[in-house]
Amino acid sequence: MEYKNLEELIEVIRRLRAPGGCPWDREQTHSSLRPNMIEEAYEAVDAIDDNDMAHLREELGDVLLQVLLHSQIAKEEGVFDIEDVAKELKDKLIHRHPHVFSNVKVNSPDEVMKNWDILKQEEKTHRKSAMDGISKAQSALMSAQKISKKAVKTGFEWPNEEELYKCIFSEFDEFKEAKAKGDKEHMEEEFGDILFAVVNLARWNKIDAEQALLKSNKKFMKRFRKMEELAQKPLNEYSFDEFDRLWKTAKSQC
């Protein structure tokens, strides 16, 4: 199978970065492109959520652009190139899928993931703590999920869901105590503990907390826009009871 368009795309990126190429592309660095990598990934996720395949194809291209730009910059610096990136990924996938590329037998996706974790540990021998490898750039909510999952893999887990609920409620009590004392710093700490405990509840129920919150954000914005459409006067003139009735009406319509 030939990948003519991919090869031509790599050449386009090289020319954009070459002398006489695009002034903007030529001045980019790994650091300057950092926000673009995050933004393009989120836009691809939006396309997935909207089930918009045409948009997803476009956004995956934008994600690929970031990969190729970083690879070209690294090539110019004599560090690695896109071929090195592809080889390292290929080798990793083959190593972590012995049930496909070797004679290892698995009976379920859970077994695949257990083997994946074992093989990953073999590759990451420099990691000494279960907490190593947590990205510093991802959102706090995503970090909390990753931290929770890593801790659980060591056996650090609630015995049942009821104990987890008790933990969540206790964090609310501790927040109230901190508020009663007027201790703002302690309030912030306890509020963080509430969020972390709730993330564990999501993990316990195999819910992606990040996606759940994103959906709630979208739902709220949709309903708020409906409130704005239905409003008979400026929203800042509404009383609490009027707001409540307007919100319920909007909620019933979307």
| 47-103 pLDDT, tens digit each | 998 999 999 999 999 999 999 999 999 999 999 999 999 999 999 999 999 999 988
Residue 142 has pLDDT above 80, yes or no: yes
Task: Place 129 in a pLDDT band, splitting at 50, 70 and 90.
Answer: confident
The proportion of the chain whose per-residue pLDDT surpasses 90, expressed as a percent, equals 75
Indicate the domain borders of the chain. 4-80, 140-207, 212-253
Say if 4-80 and 140-207 have the same CATH topology: yes
Mean pLDDT across the stretch 127-143? 83
d(CA 17, CA 23): 8
| 193-215 pLDDT, tens digit each | 999 999 999 999 999 998 899 89
DSSP state of 204: H
Residue 121 has pLDDT above 80, yes or no: no
Of the candidate CATH numbers 1.10.287.1080, 1.20.950.20, 1.10.3470.10, 1.20.120.1200, the domain formed by 4-80 belongs to 1.10.287.1080
Write down the pLDDT at residue 239.
95
Write down the pLDDT at residue 68.
98
Write down the pLDDT at residue 5.
95
212 near 186, Cβ under 8 Å? no
d(CA 69, CA 63): 10
123 near 89, Cβ under 8 Å? no
Third-level CATH fold of 140-207: Helix Hairpins (1.10.287)
Residue 127 has pLDDT above 80, yes or no: no
DSSP state of 125: T
Give the residue with greater pLDDT, 124 vs 109. Answer: 109
55 near 47, Cβ under 8 Å? yes
Residues counted in the chain: 254
Task: Place 237 in a pLDDT band, splitting at 50, 70 and 90.
Answer: very high
Write down the pLDDT at residue 1.
65
Q: Which of 8, 12, 17, 10 is nearest to 73 (CA)?
A: 17
133 near 152, Cβ under 8 Å? no
